[in-house]
Amino acid sequence: MTHPRFEKLSNSLAANNLDAVVLNPGPTLTYMTGLHFHLMERPVVVLYAPGRDPVIVLPELEFAKVSNLSYKVQAFTYPENPAEWVKAFQKGAEALGLDGKKIGVEPRALRILEYRYLEQAAPKASFPDASAALAALRIRKDADEIVKMRKAVKIAQDGLEATLPFIKIGMSEAEISNELVIQLLRHGSQPELPFAPIVSGGPNSANPHAAPSERKLQAGDMLVVDWGATYDGYISDLTRTFAVGEVNEESRKIHQIVQEANIAGRAAGKVGGTCAAVDIAARGVIEKAGYGPYFRHRTGHGIGMEGHEDPYMRGDNLQLLETGMTYTVEPGIYLLGQVGVRIEDNMVITENGAESMSDMERGIRVVGA
């Protein structure tokens, strides 16, 4: 018996003129096989060629993970001595007849470590980019995947709601971030979060990817919280922006504009629409309000097993939206050195349009008072 997703992979490889593919530990390997491995000093790869049982090269200590699978694999193990490792790669390549073939790779995942062993195992092979072939497999989520993503969204929202009462003027961004991590774990997130929460107040809120610092919250700050949870390998990625006590009129104005841009971006998604349309809709609201130059990033990105994956909501991306695609809508305005606001939701394309999986209050909320 073959894992059902390998048939989809076979079709995608053929469509992209590839003879085989190699996968490192990470989301695509887990998606294809259901197996979980960490990137470490001992290499693990899955090799797949259509019509053959997949090959896995792995250390002897990991063999238990593949000893009782519901589908067939060809496992080649190696001992602790690194001098012996290349032999397992050579056996794997020979089992699939890979020398001289086009072996697709994920450029953002495959390391030089594994690549060198593959070069030795199949010296006449080429290693073209397989990103398109692999993205095509994961870009449309099935019903089970979407259930997991909805759960990840709920955990994230519940975790932040439980954190908000702890926030007080004088707390540091780092303290708030640490409390949020604790609450996410308490509410059911897997320990491996999609990313470390971004908690940024006052002038730091104008940095979209700020790291939580020792800066203490002050009355009048805007507080950006960008966070997510992981459930059964699937993630959520949300942002809300809060007022710390009373904030000035421009901060309130910017928050309202971003909220309207978020509404427009969420409404723009539909089957047969483009990724660009989502970006253009959200960006148009901000540009019309006179803050166009201060929205410095794309409107969103795909989510699933990774925090950033296809499709990407950019104004130049004419990729068509299809049922099952999941992505973020996260417009923002950032006045450097002063204030920033971002509001982010997680969307799924259905036959009826784009549905937000997140529903946490988007209007301005006061914390720390």
Mean per-residue pLDDT of the chain? 96
Alpha-carbon distance of 180 to 341, in angstroms, equals: 19
Find out whether 239 and 330 touch, Cβ atoms under 8 Å: yes
| Cis peptide bond upstream of 311, omega within 30 | yes
| Residues 149 and 39 occupy one common structural domain | no
| Residues 167 and 269 occupy one common structural domain | yes
| Residues 63 and 182 occupy one common structural domain | no
| Residues 157 and 89 occupy one common structural domain | no
Nearest to 222 by CA among 238, 240, 209: 240
| Residues 162 and 67 occupy one common structural domain | no
Domain boundary (117, 137, 157) is at 137
Alpha-carbon distance of 11 to 33, in angstroms, equals: 17
Residue numbers of the chain with a pLDDT score lower than 70: 1-3
224-268: pLDDT as tens digits: 999 999 999 999 999 999 999 999 999 999 999 999 999 999 999
| Residues 191 and 321 occupy one common structural domain | yes
| Residues 162 and 281 occupy one common structural domain | yes
| Residues 133 and 145 occupy one common structural domain | no
| Residues 225 and 94 occupy one common structural domain | no
Find out whether 245 and 366 touch, Cβ atoms under 8 Å: yes
| Residues 338 and 315 occupy one common structural domain | yes
Domain boundary (113, 137, 161) is at 137
Find out whether 79 and 87 touch, Cβ atoms under 8 Å: no
| Residues 170 and 246 occupy one common structural domain | yes
| Number of domains observed in the structure of the chain | 2
Q: Which residue has tokens 């989510």?
A: 303
162-208: pLDDT as tens digits: 999 999 999 999 999 999 999 999 999 999 999 999 999 999 999 99
Containing structural domain, residue 89: 4-137
Q: Which residue has tokens 């953002």?
A: 108
* Dihedrals phi, psi of 241, to nearest 5 degrees: -120, 130
Distance of CA 115 to the CA centre of its chain: 24
Domain holding 58: CATH number? 3.40.350.10
Domain boundary (92, 120, 137) is at 137
